[in-house]
Amino acid sequence: MANSFLGTGWSFPPAFGRISNGVEMTSDELDIQLSLRILLSTRKGERVMQPDYGCNLDEMLFEPMTTTFKTYISEMVKTAILYYEARIDLNSVTVDDSRDAEGVIVLIIDYTVRTSNSRFNFVYPYYITEGTELKYVK
């Protein structure tokens, strides 16, 4: 794992192993998928040393599902991946709004790992309504 040519990094969320007495590490394609998840769930400005890192998908909450909205999200994701995930070539970003009535948009990211020329896809569910799992408490 330490010699991975695709990179090795901390698992996300960070976890510590009892047997290894250290941080759990991920590598190869799993590290790329975790990196994409972190990139899409990070708000710009959250990282002090990289203030432009992230995607700001949370700004899209409650927006009406239009072609313009879907195109905007797709371009936002493409730009973030272009700048912050150099290990892959992006083939396509598809915005699936078939679950829009449930408040869920699914982003399907099809990519090719540059060093191995292997194709993968990453599915990221984006919830367009906040607080859907909260219950009213008296």
pLDDT computed for residue 97 by the predictor: 87
Mean per-residue pLDDT, 26-49: 87
pLDDT (tens digit per residue) in 81-131: 999 999 999 999 999 988 877 778 899 999 999 988 999 999 988 776 655
CB 94: neighbour CB atoms within 10 A?
13
Q: What's the confidence (pLDDT) of residue 82?
A: 95
Domain ranges of the chain: 8-127
Rounded Cα gap, residues 72 and 60, in angstroms = 10
pLDDT, greater one: 48 or 17: 48
- pLDDT attached to residue 137: 45
pTM, whole model, 2 decimals? 0.77
What residue ranges in 28-117 does DSSP mark as E strands?
Answer: 88-96, 104-113
Q: pLDDT value at position 56?
A: 87
Q: Give 79 or 57, the one with higher predicted confidence.
A: 79
* pLDDT tens-digit map of 44-57: 999 899 999 999 88
Peptide bond into 13 cis (omega under 30): yes
Topology classification of domain 8-127: Nuclear Transport Factor 2; Chain: A, (3.10.450)
If one counts every other C-beta atom within 10 angstroms of the C-beta of residue 53, the result is 17
> What integer best gives the mean pLDDT of the chain?
82
**Better-scored residue on pLDDT, 32 or 6:** 32
